[in-house]
Amino acid sequence: MSDGQDQGRRLTHFDEAGRAAMVDVSAKPVTERVAVARGRVTMAPETLARIVEGAMGKGDVLGVARIAGIMAAKRTSELIPLCHPLMLSKVAVDLTPAPPDAVEIEATVKLAGQTGVEMEALTAVTVAALTVYDMCKAVDRGMRIEAVRLVHKSGGKSGTFEAA
């Protein structure tokens, strides 16, 4: 519903009586589905320098956050109540220092299935960002997790979405 094209359609996670319900995807065709999400963690320049230098006391911040994002994508259905458990075929999480004061995060999730992977990509970015925060909070409690958003979605009945 976020792209404005679905106004007038009923919300899919509610039944006829208005109760929350998991969407029945059994009649949907299997298609290749891809979602890409992005976000960033903004921090003090000194914090980013310590991450890049490997001088944060807890270890490889970007490597640990990458693994956390991948793990989170695989467990999205345990976190978001009405998400379907999915057999993901690919999860890639990239964390890139963006001097002077941020780490950019991008997650790409793919599968061949009957429902999309937008929530998995968004969850991967969010948990990767939370992991950066957790690993660096001792030196910078003022970090901000920002701009988590879906930037691409393809596959399924609704087709392709590209963020403006």
The catalytic residues are 134
The answer to whether 125 and 69 are in contact (CB under 8 A) is yes
Whether 88 and 74 have beta carbons less than 8 Å apart is answered as yes
Q: Are 130 and 64 in contact (CB under 8 A)?
A: no
38 within 8 A of 122, measured Cβ to Cβ: no
Task: Tally helices (H) and strands (E) across the chain.
Answer: 4, 5
Handedness of CA 84, 89, 35, 157 (dihedral sign): negative
